[in-house]
Structure 1
Amino acid sequence: MNVKRGSTTFLKVIIFLVGVAILALCIWLPGAAIRDAGAHPDTAYFLIPFLACAYGFCATLSVALYQAYKLLTYIEKSNAFSELSLNSLKIIKKCAFTVIFIILLGLVNLKVLSKVTGDDPAGPTSLGLMGILAISIIIAAVDALQKPLKNFLEKGSE
């Protein structure tokens, strides 16, 4: 097995494991929401927006992981410099912006909940902002890959 195939296989396994973790989260969330609603019935109505954000986050992240898996498959087949790779990068970038939007919606919901309950939302807010920072780095990396690939394809079509 050559190095390129070994590294792409390793990355595919990591993507698969992250996908399994997302699936486990989606299975665990309703039970956790029901337990929380039972423990705090006065704020149970805030669980619906949080669940919507969580499932939107999971669905969007799943689409991005699938596109990353496809991109690794293109790289394995020596088809990295193709229109298909460029489309996968575009979809990953759109998913990243969508995840940032969903995190911001969750933070707004958290801020409203903190006004109602009087709790301090500093911890979850800082985690959300760190998530936005990490996703912004991913967007910059995808953009750095996308621009040369687009230029290569435009020069190749001339």
Structure 2
Amino acid sequence: MMVKRGSTTFLKVIIFLIGIGMLALCIWLPEAAVRDARVHPDTAYFLIPFLVCAYGFCISLSVALYQAYKLLTYIEKSHAFSESSLNSLKIIKKCAFTVIFLILLGLVNLKVLSIVTGDDPAGPISLGLMGIFVISIITAIMDVLQKPLKNFLELNTEND
């Protein structure tokens, strides 16, 4: 299977740029949390669950990005139909489920915060639900890619 090296390199650059954005977010989050705690000291204790969810999100997404980078490397080396590729797809899918769980946890925390403060959380909740929808699509794509790969590997082991 011949893959143009330019397309995988482009995808690797995109993954690298997303990783840099994740690193910038992780560096910026504590400063924003401290600033918000100074402005709203009565609800500052709600920042801890948000930070836990945000850092869990960043870690899960970073692991998924690393696995996607490895998968692109396997594709470049013509090892797309290997056990390593299947493992990378499985890890990406697990990371996606973890991200969905963390978004749901953050939305529950947001709803509790809105009950305490009386604010309307419709905007952030709708953004969170859109994020869950997008990640669910990515998870479905990983599942669709994983099944034929798994069948191919099973057929090869039976024939050997």
TM-score, structure 2 normalization: 0.97
Task: Please give the per-residue CA displacement for 1:78-103, whole angstroms capped at 9, x wherever unaligned.
Answer: 00000000000000000000000000
Q: Is 1:28 equivalent to 2:28 in the alignment?
A: yes
Corresponding position of 1:100: 100
Q: Which runs of 5+ in 2 are unaligned?
A: none
> Where do residues 1-158 of structure 1 align in structure 2 (5 Å cutoff)?
4-158=4-158
Name the SS of the counterpart of 1:79 in structure 2. Answer: coil
Contact 2:82 2:153 in 1 (8 A): yes
Name the SS of the counterpart of 1:100 in structure 2. Answer: helix
Name the SS of the counterpart of 1:143 in structure 2. Answer: helix
Q: Which runs of 5+ in 1 are unaligned?
A: none
Give the number of aligned pairs.
Answer: 157
Q: How far apart are the structure 2 equivalents of 1:110 and 1:55?
A: 16
Q: Runs in 1 of length 4+ with deviation above 2 angstroms?
A: none
TM-score, structure 1 normalization: 0.98
1:3/1:71 CA distance change after superposition, 3 Å: closer
Name the SS of the counterpart of 1:52 in structure 2. Answer: helix
Q: How far apart are the structure 2 equivalents of 1:50 and 1:149?
A: 37
Q: How far apart are the structure 2 equivalents of 1:67 and 1:125?
A: 29
Q: CA deviation at 1:4?
A: 1.7
Over aligned residues, Cα RMSD in angstroms? 0.8
Name the SS of the counterpart of 2:4 in structure 1. Answer: helix
